[in-house]
Each structure stands twice: as C-alpha cells, then as structure tokens.
Structure 1
Amino acid sequence: MEPEARLEALLSLPALSGPVVSRDGRHVAWSWSRLAPTADVYAAPVDGSGEPVRLTETDENAYPVSWTPDGSGLIVEQDTGGDERSVLYLVRLERPGELVPLTDERPRFFIQGGELHPNGRWLVYAANLDPESGKEEEVYRVFRQDVKTGERLVLATPRRSGYLEPRLSPRGDRVLYHRSDLDPAGRQVWLAGVEGNGDREVLNFGPEAKVEASWLPDGRRVVFTAEAEGRRRLGTFDAEEGRVRWLIDDPRRNVEYAFAPPGGPLVAAEMREGRLSAVLVDPESGKESQPPRTTGSFVPIVRVREGEWAGLLYSSTQPADLVLASPSGTRSLTGLWERTRLRPEDLVPAEDFRWRSVDGLEVQGWLYRARGEAVGTVVLVHGGPTSVSEDRFNAQVQFFTANGFNVLCPNYRGSTGFGLEFQEKIKEDGWGGREQEDIRRGIEALIEAGIAEPYRVGITGTSYGGYSAWCAITRYPPEIVAAAAPVCGMTDLVVDYYSTRPDLRPYSEEMMGGSPEEIPERYRERSPINHVKNIRGRLLIVQGERDPNVTPENVRAVVKELERHGIPYELLTFADEGHGISRPKNLRVLYPRLARFFRETFAQGPGLG
C-alpha cells in the first residue's frame, strides 16, 4: 500500500473511546472519531441484536458522559475546538441527532461529570463557578441544576481545587465525589445529600493516600481502590452502616481501577508488567473468577448471559473495539473491521523491550519495528505522566513504521501499570528528574542492541510526552536525540502552573513537591525554557491554539527565548485543536510533517549540530 493510501486507511479506522453502559445493562454508548470530521457518539445493544446508531453529528467533538436513569437517553458533552469548556446535552435513542442543551451554551467555566436525577429534572455536575457572581473561580463546587428553570443549588464546596466528577447514587438520594483538601497527593471520598444536606467525608486513609470510588447498583455501597503503604487495595464501603470490607489486599497485585457493572460481579482491572488482565470479584463473598479468554487485552463491562460478557478488546494489531466474548470466541458489536480496508496482518505488533536506568531500575517499553529497512528511530513518549503505554493500536505508531521508522514507547518511572511503588518514584525527583534519564537510557539501549543508530533518533509526544521531548532536546547531544517535536508540551513550569485549568494545579504540586512559591528553584531548573541555549538538534513545536491544559502561553514564552538565543525552530499550530491534535484533517497535516521532519534530520547524520 502506498504511503498516502496507508495514511488514509489509518485515519479512517474508527478510534473508540469512553464506553458507557446503561443502568439496565441493555445498551452501551461510546465515541468514535475519524469516521467524520469530528468525534461522534454511537450506541448499540450489548447483546449484538442491533446495529450501532449514530446519536450525534455536529461540527464539534462529542463524548458520552452518562445514561439517563431509564436508559432511554444519554448525557453527552461538547466543547468548542478542544477548549474543554463543555456544554452538556441530552439526546434520546429514539431521536438521534436531536441535542437538547442542559447547561450554558457559552460557558465561561469548566464542567466535570453530569448525571440526570431519576426525577428527570435535576442535573448533578461539578463546575468552577461562583454561584453568586456567575464568574469562573479556582474551586470547583458540586451543583444540582434544575434543567427547566436553570436554578442551581450548591451541594458541596471543597476547600481547594481538584477533579471532582460527582456521581449520583442509583437511588438519587446522595452524591459521591472526591476531595483533595488535605494534601495535593491525596484524595478522599465524600457523600453529599441531593437536597443540599449531609455533606460528609466517608473514606480517608491518610492525607497523601488516594481513594477512587463509584457506586454499586444497590445504591448503598461503593466499590473503591485505596492507594496507601506502597500498594493498592480493593474494597467496598457500606454508606449506611459505615463499614469497609476488603476484597483484595495483596501487595503483589496491582489493581489499577475497579467498577461495578449492572447485574454482575465487580470488575477489577489489574496491570501486570504493562499488560491489562481483568478479574471478576463477587462483592459479597470476595470470590474471584475469570472473564472469557481473548487474544489481546479485554475489559469486561457488562455480563450479557452466563459466561458471556460485552467488553472492550484491544492490542497493537486489534484497534479498540466493543465485542461479545464467550468461551467460543469474540464477536464485534460495532462491525469495526467492516469499516476499513486494513487487516490485523497489516499492522506492526508490539515487542516487549527492557533496559536498566541510571540507578539500576528496570524500565520497560514497547518496540515497533519499521517495515523494510529502517531510516531511523522515533521515541514516542506517553503523557500523564500518570499513564501508561500499552500493547495497543496507535495510528501514529503504525504510520511511522510504514514510513521506515522504528518506534519505542517507553514506560518511564511514574507510569502506571507496574505497581504503585514504580508509579510513585517520579516524585522522588519531581518532573524532569530521573524519569528523563529512563528515556535516555532506553535510547542508548536501542543503540547498543543495534536497533537504533547515533544521530538517527528523534523524540515526540503530547502533553507530558511533549515536555519530555523538550527535556531531551535541551539536555542531550544530537548523537542521542537529533530532533524533537513536542506536541502541547510544557516549556516553563511556572507559566504552565498559572495558566492551566485550576483543577490541574494540585497535580503539579504533587509531582513537583510544592507550588512555584514554595520551591521556585526546582520549577526554574526543571523548565526547558531555561536551557534552550543547549539545543543542538532540530526542533519542531506543535500546539493546539485552544489548549486549556498546556496553554499556548508555553509556546509564546519559549519562542521569545529561542529567538533571543538565535536557536532555529519550526512551528506548527492548529486553530481548532486543544490539548492534543485529534481531527483527521489536522492529522493528515501533522503525521506527514513529522515523518518528513525526522527523515530530513536523520539524513544529515553526524553533520547535525
């Protein structure tokens, strides 16, 4: 297949995200991007009895948030050009395309979550909105809004900003949400009465311990994971009796998250050496069982029949899809492979690749080998940093390999998927510490193995991956990193701290060990903007102009510094993108530009710099 044809095939392959099951367990909704100019919401029966129905078709990306209690409709969110100032809409299964606005159509604030009360009139969400002045503020509150009158009632007001995403109980009497009032590194679980009464803390395992919780279908218990004492534990909490019951409390196990599907056992998603393996847990007895076996990672989301589950299936050669899995095999609920000319054998599989970092820590990554003779290597760094690169289809990776590049996706310290101890190691140094050395040593290991060559390695990534690309090009010589293409990456950690969304500032404080006022020297030293004079390789800066996370202020600041030092650079911006580049028309520009940028750099060889 010719390069242009392969690019079109990759960018027409539907990218599935955010599957949500209706409360009655009959339908699943998800967002598909790349079938149209923007992402749209689809829904289908979980038993495979019907074809997917397209529920939205607009000029902006749409994502499912939650089902209505009766399962007849969905709350969906849309922003404008990726600015993340979402509007919540209601769309009914029987009326596809009819979006009824539930919140302000031109919001001056950010919304988190959104669930409709069983009475059909109240909408519960969080927003950084001052209810008296109507202005945006630092702290997010939990609101109950009357969708007919627009009247808002404040249900809870945390002391400091943080990500809340309130969840209404199935009974509709209480709202579960999270606070980080005690320490930026911790999260506690609170319950607030839907009538505006009884706001109280219910789960707290220490100021720096994180707890993540969601409701069980009975409406009185929650399932939660608690990070403390170097491990994650899985348990349930009875909100009426105030009783905790531990289901998994084993330091050898790594439960990343858990949830309660309608009408079935709990699903605990474990990560083992970067691969996902789900287990089913009975909330009453604690007895564990296995979901149907599949080829690839499988997250069961709802039990359809005895021994048969609908769930999310993926691998590097299996794009994320919703399937029915049983002992006899899997069947797509979406008809994914019918929508593309590509086949699994057209995709490059991931190889497990490992090395030792500067302090002896073992680091893992996924290696994808170029088709044909390699012209060079691209390191694609995941964002977060609290995230993970998996054995999972990635159109950008597949495009690079088709164009003659080896690709390494490293899971540096701070990544999830390798246990809490490994994840927390990034805090020992703070951002820009030894996790960047993990990436450098991965490049050197590729060179030592004869997979990569000096002067023929480039680096890119989005968000924290973009920050890592900035760190690499400002720290390492061109024989290690010859070119960098940071996408929406932080350049000045102080500028980023004050210009980002308010709920993200506690994350910076957690990772860095304090605010810029408390530890100014660390923020200064770890900001790539203060080291641009060291750049000897080539630089391509990519930015979404509506990004509220890593804002364009990062680019404006670093461009001034680059020009002050006479450092050449290229700049590629997208007016209709936010935190990351996602629209197919823009990816058709970005991917070939990156390939050309790296190929031209590698052709210079030792003459670079």
Structure 2
Amino acid sequence: LTEKSPDHFMRGGYFDPTGENVVFAVNYDYDIKRETETFRVVFLDIESRKRTVVARPDRPASISLDVDPKGRYVLYSRSDEDPSGVQFWVASPDGLEDREILNFGPKAKIDAHWTHDGRVLFNTDTINGRRNDSVGIGIYDVTSDEIDWLVRPMEEEPFDSTEVPANSHHALFVRERKARKKAFIYDFDTIRLTDCSVDEGTIWPITELSTTEWLGIYYSSTSAKELVRFNPFSPNPSKFTFLTRMLEYSGVKSEELTPAKDHTWFSVDGRSIHGWLYQPSSPNGKTVVFVHGGPTAHSENELVTSIQYLCSEGFTILDPNYRGSTGYGVEFRELIKDDGWGGMDKDDVMKGIESLIEEGISKTYSVGIFGTSYGGYMSWNAIVHFPTKLLAAAAPICGMTDLIVDYETTRPDLRPYSEEMLGGSPAEVPEIYYERSPINFVQNIKGALLIVQGLRDPNVTKANVAEVEKRLEQHAIPYEKLIFDDEGHGIVRDANVEVLLQRLASFFDEAL
C-alpha cells in the first residue's frame, strides 16, 4: 500500500470501519515529494490508491491515531502549543473538518481513545490549570462537545492511564504505583468498576469473552508473557487457563529464573528511589546495572531476557527506576525536567550502586552498567562521571553521546522531546546541551567501555558513534565496539541478541 523503503517516517496503519480505507500519519508532502518536519494524517483508499490528507499539525511531534468505530473521524494528537503538552483533534475522512476537541493547557498531558459507541475516553494530568499527581478520566461527546467526568484526580486511589479494550463495552482504568500495574475494568453499561489485579505478577485484560471471562496477558519476572483466559471478578493465576506456554516451550523452567525483588534507596536530595534487584542463586561477586530507556517509561516486574541471561551467568542485577520514570505518579515523572537529562537522574543511579555496596550486596570496582537508548545515554554518563570504585565498566547500546548531534540527526518528531526535557533547543540553551553530552567528558574514562550500535538507527544515528570515536581516539581512551549492520534502535533480531548477550557477559566478566 505504501513505499517499501521510504525515506521518511510513518505511523499507524488502521482500517476504517468499512475496511476500504487505511489511515496513517507520515512526515512527507506528496505534492512536492519531500520529507517534512511535521506529520500529515492520511486516508488511503485501498482500491484506487487515492490519498486524502485530512490534517496537518503545526509543529513536529510524536503522533497517535485512532479511528472512529462509526467512521466519522480519525482522532489524533498534536503538540502545537508547547513541546511538553498534548492536544487531541478530530479530522473527517473527506478532509473538510479538522478541529480541536481536548485541550487542558499548553503543557497538559492527554491521552485519548474511541469507545465502542463513538465517544472519546480520555485522561489528563491537568485540570483548571493545575497539574495533579494522578489523572482525571472523562468522556467527551463529539456531537454535543460536552465532557462527562468519570474520575477526578485522587491521592488515595489514583489512576494513571486509560485504555479501551477491543470489541467490548468497557474501558481500563490503570493504576501504576511503585512500578506495579493494576488494571480496573470499567463497564459502560453497568457503571461498575472491577479490580482485576493479582498479588503476584501482572494480568493485563485484552477483551471480554463472556460476562465472567476475559482474554488477557499474564506475566512476571519468572513468567513469560502468556495469553490466558481468566475471571476478572476473582482473578487467581492458579485458576487461569493458559492458551500459550511460552516459557515451557523455551525449555526454561520458572524456578531457574531469578525473581525481581523490591529495592529502595535515597538519592542525593533525600528522595526515595525504587528499583528491582535480581540476586542469582550462584552469584559471581559481580554486579551489573540495567537502565531502562525512555526516560518516560519504567521497568516492571517482568521477564527481561538480558537480565535473566546475566543472572544465569552469576551477575547480580540492579534495575533502577530513576526520576523521570513513569509508574510512580506525575510528580516523579516530571522531576527530571527540574535539571534535565543527565542531572539528578544520574545521581539516582549512582546512589543505587552505593546502596548495594553499603549493604554488602556488591563490591567496589566490581559494578558495570548497560542499557539501550536513554539507558545507553545513562551508561555513557556513568562511565564518564562515576569513579571506577563505583562503576568499572559500561556497555552503552544505541545511546546518545553528543546531544547537539543527536538533536540535529534524529527523527523530526523526537526533537521536541529533547526540548521538553532540556528546556529548549540547542540554540536556546546551548550550555545544558554541552554540559549533559557525555562526549565532552570522555577524557575522564578510566573503566572499560564497549560501544554497541545498530547502523540503521533513526533515533540515535550512527553519527553519534562516529563523533565519540574521534574524541576517544583523540584522548587515547581504549574501547571495544560491537556493530550490527541490520539493526535499528535497539538489538532485536534473535541471532544478534544471542551475540550481544554473550558479548555482554564476557565483557563484564573480564572488566569486573
């Protein structure tokens, strides 16, 4: 339906209710045949291949799409007023109507989805100009232009996001606190809210099968993601009907895996930081810190292949949810903006390492770090700023090194994210872009370094590696390199993952 190898970026690919059209977003102008900074929302007639551009946001930004089940509109996001804010609009398939429906302020975060009956379920962290630590949840009627609030932001029983399950008259109200996800099923017909969370692991509802049975995904750090049938009114993993047996088919037993345990410590400003600690049954005396990407994301109690492989080799693993992570409320998510990327979020990780050493879990000169994307950036920051007593080796994967080069070479829709997190563009705040770029401090490196990169990465391009290599060689800093010609942003192909994990294990074993 579209180009096989486009020189631009595409989002979406959703059928309209008739099945005759596909809706997507693309940062490309078909009239002048040129890539653009901003996305266009496009309806494509499958039979005639006619394209109708129905929306043109004013500014570049990440975009989400959802097609009205009644076929009247496509719902899509914009960030026209401020890089940190989100507004939602609707556009008609004929391109004649394109209007804003949800705007709670320039910096307000909003997420929205169509319901089964053609209304819009949304959540926002900002109401009446005030940002809250949890979200309010409402229903917007596109016909009457009225909002019906279902839940106001609460401290006692907060909610943090919403979803609309497929093929049902329900919504999911999601609570994420201390990195644990709990889903509550809201029935639009009975106005009933059902807590379907479990004590061990996570159950994520997908769709209703009957009045007493749902399809869902169950997972934990010692259970792969499994498709299950379950009763949401009395959820109990021992009574789930497992439709898949991913772990069993892999040949790995659950008892062979290392469970995630809560680990909490205090950062430099006294703030409590939480993460996951994995202590293998046969430790080798060496510790590796795994840093999640984002940073607007978080690590859950779930099976992570790289963590489990390193645990099987005897490494203790710390998986920190530093400030800026989701899963702890809006305030914690927004903290990273107080001083930007590579600021106190870096200190959170450093203090986490110190806590392991103080508690006798880890030893000095025996800690390494790795991660992908922002986790790779954090790994770079750690190896250039932490003393080798705390951090002796780093393996950044697809991590930014020069934030100015990254800003200039990354996808257009990601540049506003840098502006949001660092307080402006490189032209507006050049000092912080310089100060927070690890490339400017590589002369401090005393530990071992393994650079991992996918050459097809559109987010953190190979230019990041090329520039940092020049600087490393200028300062005569030794390093190793693992490059994958056929990978993009992250190493995901099975054969490559196997190579990567074995290399990580041998690298950390020798360096620590």
TM-score (norm 2): 0.95
Alignment partner, residue 281 of structure 2: 371
Contact 1:375 1:599 (C-alpha < 8 Å) held by counterparts: no
Contact 2:450 2:482 (C-alpha < 8 Å) held by counterparts: yes
Q: Residue 263 of structure 1 is aligned with which of 149, 156, 168?
A: 168
Contact 1:254 1:418 (C-alpha < 8 Å) held by counterparts: no
Consecutive unaligned residues in structure 1, runs of 5 or more: 1-101, 603-609
Alignment partner, residue 448 of structure 1: 358
Contact 2:320 2:352 (C-alpha < 8 Å) held by counterparts: yes
SS in 2 for 1:255: coil
Alignment partner, residue 568 of structure 1: 478
- Range with greater deviation from structure 2 (238-247 or 437-446): 238-247
Match status 1:300 vs 2:199: no
Contact 1:113 1:166 (C-alpha < 8 Å) held by counterparts: yes
CA deviations over 1:574-605 (Å, ceiling 9, x no partner): 00100000111111211111111111111xxx
Contact 2:115 2:169 (C-alpha < 8 Å) held by counterparts: no
Alignment partner, residue 95 of structure 2: 196
Q: Tell me how far 1:195 sits from its aligned partner.
A: 1.1
- The list of structure 1 runs, each at least 4 consecutive aligned residues, that deviate by more than 3 angstroms after superposition, is 282-287, 292-295
The verdict on how the C-alpha distance between 1:237 and 1:107 changes in structure 2, with shifts beyond 3 A counting, is: same
Alignment partner, residue 121 of structure 2: 223
CA deviations over 1:466-487 (Å, ceiling 9, x no partner): 0000000000111110000000
SS in 1 for 2:450: strand
Q: Residue 434 of structure 1 is aligned with which of 312, 336, 344?
A: 344
Alignment partner, residue 166 of structure 1: 65
Q: Residue 222 of structure 2 is aligned with which of 302, 317, 321?
A: 317
Q: Could you tell me which amino acid in structure 2 is paired with residue 236 of structure 1?
A: I
Q: Tell me how far 1:345 sits from its aligned partner.
A: 0.9
Q: Tell me how far 1:500 sits from its aligned partner.
A: 0.7
Contact 1:125 1:166 (C-alpha < 8 Å) held by counterparts: yes
Contact 1:128 1:141 (C-alpha < 8 Å) held by counterparts: yes
Q: Tell me how far 1:293 sits from its aligned partner.
A: 4.2
Q: Residue 183 of structure 2 is aligned with which of 271, 278, 283?
A: 278
Q: Tell me how far 1:285 sits from its aligned partner.
A: 6.7
Q: Could you tell me which amino acid in structure 2 is paired with residue 520 of structure 1?
A: P
CA deviations over 1:162-207 (Å, ceiling 9, x no partner): 1223211011111100000000000001011111111000000000
Count of aligned pairs between the two proteins:
500
Q: Tell me how far 1:571 sits from its aligned partner.
A: 0.7
Q: Could you tell me which amino acid in structure 2 is paired with residue 234 of structure 1?
A: I
The verdict on how the C-alpha distance between 1:338 and 1:479 changes in structure 2, with shifts beyond 3 A counting, is: closer
SS in 2 for 1:417: coil
Q: Could you tell me which amino acid in structure 2 is paired with residue 246 of structure 1?
A: W
Consecutive unaligned residues in structure 2, runs of 5 or more: none
Q: Tell me how far 1:260 sits from its aligned partner.
A: 2.0
Q: Residue 587 of structure 1 is aligned with which of 490, 497, 504?
A: 497
SS in 1 for 2:240: strand
Q: Within 2, Cα distance between the matches of 1:524 and 1:337?
A: 45
Q: Tell me how far 1:378 sits from its aligned partner.
A: 0.2
Q: Map of 1:379-398 to 2, 5 A cutoff? A: 379-398=289-308
Contact 2:77 2:87 (C-alpha < 8 Å) held by counterparts: yes
The verdict on how the C-alpha distance between 1:120 and 1:305 changes in structure 2, with shifts beyond 3 A counting, is: closer
SS in 1 for 2:49: coil
SS in 2 for 1:425: helix
Q: Within 1, Cα distance between the matches of 2:197 and 2:392?
A: 46
The verdict on how the C-alpha distance between 1:284 and 1:241 changes in structure 2, with shifts beyond 3 A counting, is: farther
Q: Residue 367 of structure 2 is aligned with which of 457, 461, 467?
A: 457
Q: Residue 518 of structure 1 is aligned with which of 407, 415, 428?
A: 428
Alignment partner, residue 455 of structure 2: 545
- Name which structure has the greater RCO, CA cutoff 8 Å, separation 6+: 1
TM-score (norm 1): 0.80
CA deviations over 1:499-543 (Å, ceiling 9, x no partner): 111111111111111001100010011000000011111100000
Q: Tell me how far 1:118 sits from its aligned partner.
A: 2.9
Q: Map of 1:86-101 to 2, 5 A cutoff? A: none
Q: Could you tell me which amino acid in structure 2 is paired with residue 541 of structure 1?
A: I
Alignment partner, residue 53 of structure 2: 154
Q: Could you tell me which amino acid in structure 2 is paired with residue 273 of structure 1?
A: K
Q: Within 1, Cα distance between the matches of 2:56 and 2:88?
A: 13
Alignment partner, residue 148 of structure 2: 245
Q: Residue 383 of structure 2 is aligned with which of 464, 473, 476?
A: 473
Alignment partner, residue 139 of structure 1: 38
SS in 1 for 2:172: strand
Q: Within 1, Cα distance between the matches of 2:17 and 2:151?
A: 33
Contact 2:116 2:169 (C-alpha < 8 Å) held by counterparts: no
Q: Tell me how far 1:337 sits from its aligned partner.
A: 4.0
The verdict on how the C-alpha distance between 1:277 and 1:138 changes in structure 2, with shifts beyond 3 A counting, is: same
Q: Within 1, Cα distance between the matches of 2:273 and 2:416?
A: 27
Q: Residue 419 of structure 2 is aligned with which of 494, 498, 509?
A: 509
Q: Within 1, Cα distance between the matches of 2:261 and 2:310?
A: 16
Contact 2:274 2:322 (C-alpha < 8 Å) held by counterparts: yes
Q: Tell me how far 1:352 sits from its aligned partner.
A: 0.2
Q: Map of 1:382-421 to 2, 5 A cutoff? A: 382-421=292-331
Q: Within 1, Cα distance between the matches of 2:461 and 2:268?
A: 32
SS in 2 for 1:323: strand
Q: Could you tell me which amino acid in structure 2 is paired with residue 264 of structure 1?
A: H
Match status 1:362 vs 2:260: no
Q: Could you tell me which amino acid in structure 2 is paired with residue 267 of structure 1?
A: L
Q: Within 2, Cα distance between the matches of 1:333 and 1:445?
A: 41
Q: Tell me how far 1:375 sits from its aligned partner.
A: 2.7
Contact 1:143 1:156 (C-alpha < 8 Å) held by counterparts: yes
SS in 2 for 1:595: helix
Q: Within 2, Cα distance between the matches of 1:388 and 1:470?
A: 19
Q: Tell me how far 1:291 sits from its aligned partner.
A: 2.4
Identity of aligned residues (%): 47
Q: Tell me how far 1:150 sits from its aligned partner.
A: 2.4
Q: Residue 528 of structure 1 is aligned with which of 432, 438, 454?
A: 438
Q: Within 2, Cα distance between the matches of 1:286 and 1:426?
A: 37
Q: Could you tell me which amino acid in structure 2 is paired with residue 240 of structure 1?
A: T
The verdict on how the C-alpha distance between 1:399 and 1:292 changes in structure 2, with shifts beyond 3 A counting, is: closer
Q: Within 2, Cα distance between the matches of 1:342 and 1:563?
A: 43
Q: Tell me how far 1:438 sits from its aligned partner.
A: 0.2
CA deviations over 1:225-273 (Å, ceiling 9, x no partner): 1122123111111111111122221332443321222223211121121
Q: Within 1, Cα distance between the matches of 2:37 and 2:366?
A: 45
Contact 1:108 1:135 (C-alpha < 8 Å) held by counterparts: no
Q: Within 2, Cα distance between the matches of 1:439 and 1:416?
A: 16
